Amino acid sequence: MKAVVCPFCEIVSDHPHETQAGCIEALQAEIIRTRQVLEHVTEPLRPPKITVEEDSSPV
Chain positions contacting Zn ion, by CB under 5 A = 6, 8-9, 17, 23
* Cα 56 from Cα 59, distance rounded (Å): 9
Which of residues 1 and 6 has its CB atom nearest to Zn ion in the complex? 6
CB of 4 to Zn ion, least distance (A): 10
* Cα 10 from Cα 16, distance rounded (Å): 9
* Cα 9 from Cα 7, distance rounded (Å): 6
CB of 30 to Zn ion, least distance (A): 10
CB of 37 to Zn ion, least distance (A): 20
